[in-house]
Structures are given as structure tokens and as C-alpha cells.
Amino acid sequence: AAEDGLNAWLRYARIDRAGHCQGKLPSTIVTLNATEGSPVYTAGQELSKGFNGIVGKKVDVDSITTSSRGHHSRDTNATVGTIAAYVDSNPGAAARLPELIDDGFYLSVSHGSILILGQNERGALYGAFHYLSRLAQGDCSDFTLTSNPGAPIRWVNQWDNMQDGGTHGSVERGYGGKSIFFWDGKVRDDLTRAGQYARLLASIGINAVVVNNVNADPKTLTPANMDGLARIANAFRPYGVQLGLSLNFASPQTLGGLSTFDPLDQSVITWWQGITDALYQRIPDMVGYLVKANSEGQPGPMTYNRTLADGANMFARTLKPHGGIILFRAFVYDHRTLNQTLDWKADRANAAVHYFDGLDDKFDDNVAIQVKYGPIDFQVREPVSPLFSHLRKTGSAIELQISQEYLGQQAHLVYLAPMWKEILDFDFRVDGKPSTTADIISGRRFPRKLGGFAGVVNVGTNTTWLGSHLAMSNLYAYGKLAWDAKASPEGVLKEWIRLTFSDDHKVIDVITKMSMASWPAYENYSGNLGIQTLTDILLGHYGPNPASQDGNPWGQWTRADADSIGMDRTVWNGTGFAGQYPPEIAAKYEKPETTPDNLLLWFHHVPYTHKLKSGKTVIQHFYDAHYEGSATAQTFPQLWRKLEGRPGIDKERFEHVLYRLVYQAGHSLVWRDSINMFYFNKSSIADVHGRVGNH
Ligand code: GCU
């Protein structure tokens, strides 16, 4: 069962139609120009492993070099390689093959022959995984498919620390155990899990992992640690996954012993060039850097009155000769100086657009800006960050969080794809034209070369990776949406269920039902109407603590008092944040009447008795939503119990999931009563249904 956890959706479990499909599979797998350890080589191994597991047919891998002409692939082969290699041995085929872009693939299955071609080696591996995914879902029929990624940047970020106080590699906001990469301030000797992680990631189209915390430790860059990083890159390489690195801006001073880390100082530039060269010497295919600067106490270019672009470009120029890119984070704000009491117009949400103002045409072409989906911090409901609409010349990547920091920390089932989908489909109406988030980051709305997705995943040593079997649907869906933002959250979920558990209809129905109900339920029993999640914000970002939001400089304020609640972010009377959107959207958010109810308190400060479009008052909505959300969570354990003994639901995973769902049902009641009592105590307005208040 631990193996089931580790393999997640790549279990290659035997299907019911195995007998039927056996006859349809080829007798040989042929890899084209595969050197051992290359992605095409891996594709051959995976196909062989998959055929054996899924239908019980042992098929050997035959490796050929296409220069040895005459060794044409026979009809009953599974052939896998790059388009170039294939055309090399089948020149006539060129005309009938489709156009692919980097990482794209072409699949053609007909009468027992399978052709899997990638634009590059990685694409060929993606094609093999795609084919196996269909087979594992019981489909061995003929088909042809061309698939290209929607965006080139499809990364994950791991917030892994090299050390945790004394000896252990911890993961910031990680709920699945210790780091799979670091231990005791060093890179682990055994990197088996790193390879297994890369395998999972490759199967959903992820092409790079930033392995260390954005709050980066300068010691990551010692020669010994660079050697270690090269070993991680080696573990990733068979899967076409590239390594990226978070940097600490002050390293030239703290690690290098220079007197400054000013990005315009020549000694600093030279120091970074030396580091970059040393890394590329060890890891020639390193993808590049990720930098968090001037945020939450981290150093950055603004320490020297330089712009964020000065900082980003310094790294970009060291990377340029090596073909590397840098993702520079837009999560820039000062958590020390915001003053809620004195300043009605102070607003952390304004920070990103403010700091990047005037910089859009200042970034080098190997820089992309990594923007969290909302302007604050991974809340259960935020408007989409307006910064996306300001970056027209600079590429951008959306930062999503698979690790459920504010969203139940994997102890609650919260399927996030529906939320991501709303964010990706949001239309900014830039210049009055359709301008969805998805089209902006893919480079379709404003022609740009770089862009895409960064997902904070934070897996750990736990055999479930994230700490919960069901939470893995979020990782799966993240990869699928990064590949194709048009994918349907429910469709992707069902795929994941079939691969992870089985295609038993009851299993699919129950897990789909719970998962699709889970984000609305969590929003209902945590923070409503755009007030943010209302977790404790000073400690762990877990559990209800609405009082912790206000009265501190972190800026996740609600401004709740005895009569009214919400952040006034209007232009006419508030912080002005609404005005950061293009005019059509800004006008909508400026007025309570045109602001959607689910964002009302994000944009407006209103009395608890304010009437929503639904006809309810704000306070009554709070009460009702908390009862509804927790009632939904009460149904999860009952639903799950129906799956005991069903196909694919082994005892270990059954119990593991049940334990969490029972906990969630209980904790949702804690949420319900804490939040409802808190706002009753503030407002003294009783629930019309008599559940909350003194009666
Ligand atoms: C959140 C999170 C931090 C993290 C930060 C970031 O605030 O709680 O742990 O460092 O985001 O994304 O940089």
C-alpha cells in the first residue's frame, strides 16, 4: 500500500479488459536513438512496465539508432522517439506528421502498432505517459492525437530548507514530511524519492522543479552543495525534468564576503556570474533561477534603491549565455510598515502593481514575473491579481499553491482545480478586448515568448507525498491545467480517480461528488464573501482565528468592528485597489451593486445588515454558509464509507482517507462555531434561525 501512495496515479494496476487489450498491444517496443537515462530511454522502460502491469503482457525494449537505416519499424511495434529521429529512418513520413512545438507530442495507434513521437525527447516521454494513461483507464482503441503545451513554463516550486534548526531538512508550509532533497544542511545521499517525484511530474507535463525554499539559504551555493544539486539534476534528467534554484539576494555579502550586494556593483555582478558558471558547469541543463526579493524581510535590489528590474536583469544576464531563465516573484511587500489604525488607505493588496509600476518594458527577455493568483496570499477566494493586466511586454507565470497552506493543510479535502479554473478563465478586458488570465500567461493575448505556471507543491518524505492520498488530485490537476488551461476540472478529476483507485462507477461517483463539493464547502465554513480565509495568520495559517487578521502590519485585514466589516478598496473612498484593474473591471468592483457577492467584503466596507444580491444580509449569510459548509463536510465520511471494499479501495488507503475525513467533519464544526460566535459577539445580531446568539 505504501507503493500505491508512492506511485500515486502511475500504479499501472491491472484493468478488467486486460485480456481484450493484450491482443491489441505490440510485441516489441522500439526506442529511437535512446541513450541510457535519456527521456526516450525512460519512455521505453515505462511502456514496458505499463504493458506488464496494466494488461499483463511482457514486452521487451529494442533500442535502435536511426542512422542504421533499413531497420524500419515494423507494423506491430510500439515506436517511441523524437520526430527528427523518426523522419531520419522514414523520410517519407515527414509530410504526414503534424507541427509540434517544444515538449509537444504526436500519438498514432492503429491495428496493434503504436507510434509515439515528440518534438523533443521530453515530448516523446509525455506521449508515452499519455498513451499509458489511456490504457490504464481501460481504453486500447485506435486513435490519433496531437498535443502541444499551452505554455512553456510548467514548473513546480518546493519550499525545502536545507536545514531545520539543527539537522533535518524541513519544508516550509509542507504537510507531507521532511524534504526529499535535503538533510542536515546537505543534499541527501539517497535521492530515490527525487527520481520518483520527477517521474510523477513528467507524467503530467511538468518540466522543472525549483528545489529549495524561496526564502533561500545562501549556503545552497557552497561548492559541496552545488555538487549535491548536480546529483538531484541527475535524478531528474531521465524524466526530462530540469532543476531550478531559489537564490538569496544577499548571498554575495553573506556567503561571498563582499561588502555589498548592490545589483549594479561590478564586484557583485562578477560574483553572481561566477556562481552561475559554476552551476552550469555541473548542471549544463539547469533551467534557471527563482528569486524572492524585498518581501517579508528578504533582501533585494530596493535595499540599494535599485529597481526590481535591476535586480532581475542582473541574474538574467548571468544566465543568458547558458540559455537559462529567471522567474522573478511579484510577491513583494513590506510586512513591517503597514499601519491599519492610522491609515484607511494602506493596503497590502496594492503592493505588487505599485512596485512593478513603470517596469513593464525594463526586463530582459529571459525574465518572467511569477505572480500569485491573488494580490494577498493564497486565500480561499481572492480577485485575480491585477498585475497580470499590467505586464504586456514582460512574460508572466501564475503561481498556484498545491500545498494547502490556508486551505486545510491536507487535513481537509479541498479540490482546488475549480478555483484555479475560475482564476484562469477570468477576463480582464484589457483595452476592452477578451483577455483571460490563461491567455495572458500563455503569451496569446500579448505576444511574448515566456510564460506559464508555477505551482508550490511541497511534497515530502511521507509515502503519500502530500500527506493525504486525496490531496494528490490537486497535483494531478495542476499539471493538466498547466498543459491545457481549457481542461475540465471534473474531467481531470475522474481521470485521476480511475488511475489512482479504479474505474468502478461507485468509486468515481463518490470521490467526484466529495471533491467537487469540497472547495465551496471549505469556503462556506471558513471565510465568506471575500473576507479571506480567516485562519490564524500569525502562527500556522491553520484553523479559525478571525481576530488574528487585524491589528498587525501583515495587512490581511478585515476591519471588522461592531457595525461593519470589509476592506474598502474603492477608488473614491478606499485604498484604490479596485482602480488597478482595466476600466471595465475597475468600474464593476468600484460599486457594491456590481461587485459579485463572493468578493463583496474584499472590495467594500459595509454594515453587517447590508443586503446581498441573494436578499440575505451579510451576517445572515455568514451564519447560513457556515452551517451549510459544515453540513456538507459531515457527508464526506458517510460517502467514503460506501467505498469500503470496492475495487481499488484497499484497506490501508481506505482507513487513511477515512481518518482525515472524520477529522475534517469535526473540524468544520469548530470552524462553524468559532466564526459564527466571533461575528455574533462583534455584531450582537442574532441568527434568524436561532442557531447563533443568546436566546
Ligand atoms: C506565504 C507563506 C510563507 C512564504 C510566502 C512566500 O506568506 O506563508 O511561508 O514564504 O508566502 O510565498 O514567499
Place of cell 531520419: 88
Closest of 84, 126, 135 to residue 483, by C-alpha: 126
Contact indicator for 590, 577 with CB cutoff of 8 Å: no
Nearest CA to ligand 1 atom 8: 173
Closest of 376, 535, 456 to residue 174, by C-alpha: 456
Q: How far from 177 is each of 93, 172, 213, 465, 543, CA to CA, in Å?
A: 49, 10, 15, 8, 20
Question: CA-to-CA distance for 479 and 126, rounded, in angstroms?
Answer: 12
Note the pLDDT of residue 236.
98
**pLDDT confidence bin for 169, thresholds 50/70/90:** confident
Note the pLDDT of residue 68.
52
Identify the architecture of domain 2-147 in CATH. Answer: 2-Layer Sandwich (3.30)
- Please give the helix or strand (H or E) that residue 244 lies within, else none: strand 242-247
Question: CA-to-CA distance for 441 and 400, rounded, in angstroms?
Answer: 13
**pLDDT confidence bin for 337, thresholds 50/70/90:** confident
Tell me which DSSP letter residue 427 carries. B
**pLDDT confidence bin for 192, thresholds 50/70/90:** very high
Indicate whether residue 47 lines ligand 1 (CB < 6 A).
no
- Mutation choice for ligand 1 from 214, 298, 538, CB with most ligand atoms inside 8 A: 214
Nearest CA to ligand 1 atom 13: 214
Question: CA-to-CA distance for 445 and 363, rounded, in angstroms?
Answer: 19
Count each helix (H run) and each strand (E run) in the chain, helices first: 21, 18
Where exactly are the structural domains of the chain?
A: 2-147, 153-500, 546-567+605-683
Place of cell 464526506: 636
Q: How far from 284 is each of 223, 258, 496, CA to CA, in Å?
A: 16, 27, 34
Which residue in 46, 121, 160, 377 is the catalytic one? Answer: 377
Q: Where are the alpha helices (DSSP H) in 209-365?
A: 223-236, 251-254, 266-282, 308-319, 351-356
Residue type at position 444: R
| Sign of the CA dihedral with 328 first, then 449, 95, and 145 last | positive
Share of the chain above pLDDT 70, in %: 98
Note the pLDDT of residue 163.
81
213 alpha carbon – ligand 1 mean position (Å): 10
Question: CA-to-CA distance for 603 and 61, rounded, in angstroms?
Answer: 60
Question: Which region among 86-95, 332-341, 510-519 has the lowest average model confidence (pLDDT)?
Answer: 332-341
Indicate whether residue 172 lines ligand 1 (CB < 6 A).
yes
Name the phi and psi angles at 185, rounded to 5.
75, 5
Indicate whether residue 215 lines ligand 1 (CB < 6 A).
yes
DSSP 3-state of 136: helix
Look at residue 484 and tell me whether its pLDDT is greater than 80. yes
555 alpha carbon – ligand 1 mean position (Å): 14
CA Rg, the chain, in Å?
A: 26
| Cα dihedral 537/540/543/546 (nearest 10) | -10
Does the domain at 153-500 match CATH 3.40.50.150? Answer given as: no
Question: CA-to-CA distance for 117 and 121, rounded, in angstroms?
Answer: 9
pLDDT, averaged across the chain:
96
Indicate whether residue 348 lines ligand 1 (CB < 6 A).
no
Look at residue 341 and tell me whether its pLDDT is greater than 90. no
Look at residue 396 and tell me whether its pLDDT is greater than 60. yes
pLDDT tens column, 537-549: 988 999 999 999 9
Which cell numbers hold the place of 291? 528569486
Contact indicator for 514, 413 with CB cutoff of 8 Å: yes
**Topology, domain 546-567+605-683:** Alpha-d-glucuronidase, C-terminal Domain (3.90.1330)
Question: Which region among 15-24, 248-257, 433-442 has the lowest average model confidence (pLDDT)?
Answer: 15-24
Q: How far from 280 is each of 191, 275, 277, CA to CA, in Å?
A: 20, 9, 5
DSSP letter for each residue of 552-594: STT-------SSEES----TTTS-SGGGGS-HHHHHHHHSGGG
Instruction: Give bridge partners of residue 544 from the DSSP assignment.
Output: 535
Q: Which atom of ligand 1 is nearest to the CA of 399?
A: 12
Give me the mean pLDDT over the 30-55 stretch: 97
Look at residue 73 and tell me whether its pLDDT is greater than 60. no
Note the pLDDT of residue 538.
85
Contact indicator for 216, 292 with CB cutoff of 8 Å: yes
**pLDDT confidence bin for 605, thresholds 50/70/90:** very high
- Mutation choice for ligand 1 from 156, 175, 294, 377, CB with most ligand atoms inside 8 A: 377
Give me the mean pLDDT over the 43-47 stretch: 98
Nearest CA to ligand 1 atom 12: 331
Note the pLDDT of residue 72.
54
Contact indicator for 352, 581 with CB cutoff of 8 Å: no
Contact indicator for 507, 450 with CB cutoff of 8 Å: no
pLDDT tens column, 657-675: 999 999 999 999 999 999 9
Q: Count of CB atoms within 10 A of residue 80's CB?
A: 35
Which cell numbers hold the place of 424? 484562469
Question: CA-to-CA distance for 364 and 356, rounded, in angstroms?
Answer: 14
Q: Give the list of residues 6+ apart from residue 448 with CB closer than 8 angstroms, or none.
A: 393, 394, 395
Which cell numbers hold the place of 24? 491489441
Instruction: Give bridge partners of residue 153 from the DSSP assignment.
Output: 452
Q: Taking every pair of C-alpha atoms in the chain, what is the biggest distance, in angstroms?
A: 89
Q: CA angle, corner 582, sides to 581 and 587, nearest 5?
A: 80
Indicate whether residue 536 lines ligand 1 (CB < 6 A).
no
Tell me which DSSP letter residue 171 carries. B
Look at residue 130 and tell me whether its pLDDT is greater than 70. yes
In the residue annotation, 4 being an active-site residue is answered as no
In the residue annotation, 405 being an active-site residue is answered as yes
- ipTM of the predicted structure? 0.98
Residue type at position 294: N
Question: CA-to-CA distance for 353 and 359, rounded, in angstroms?
Answer: 10
**pLDDT confidence bin for 489, thresholds 50/70/90:** very high
Place of cell 480517480: 497
Contact indicator for 568, 347 with CB cutoff of 8 Å: no
Domains 2-147 and 546-567+605-683 are alike in CATH topology: no
Question: CA-to-CA distance for 279 and 292, rounded, in angstroms?
Answer: 19
Give me the mean pLDDT over the 142-163 stretch: 96
Contact indicator for 71, 63 with CB cutoff of 8 Å: no
Q: Give the list of residues 6+ apart from residue 117 with CB closer than 8 angstroms, or none.
A: 80, 81, 82, 83, 86, 97, 100, 105, 106, 107, 123, 124, 127
Nearest CA to ligand 1 atom 2: 173
Note the pLDDT of residue 1.
64
Judge residue 180's burial from the number of C-beta atoms within 10 Å of its C-beta, 0-12 exposed, 13-18 middle, 19 or more buried. Answer: buried
DSSP 3-state of 278: helix
Indicate whether residue 331 lines ligand 1 (CB < 6 A).
yes
Note the pLDDT of residue 541.
96
pLDDT tens column, 270-284: 999 999 999 999 999
End-to-end CA distance of the chain: 51
Q: Which atom of ligand 1 is nearest to the CA of 215?
A: 10
Q: Which residue has the higher pLDDT, 302 or 69?
A: 302
In the residue annotation, 296 being an active-site residue is answered as yes
pLDDT tens column, 87-101: 998 989 989 999 999
Question: CA-to-CA distance for 240 and 276, rounded, in angstroms?
Answer: 21
Place of cell 485604498: 575
Q: Which residue has the higher pLDDT, 46 or 111?
A: 46
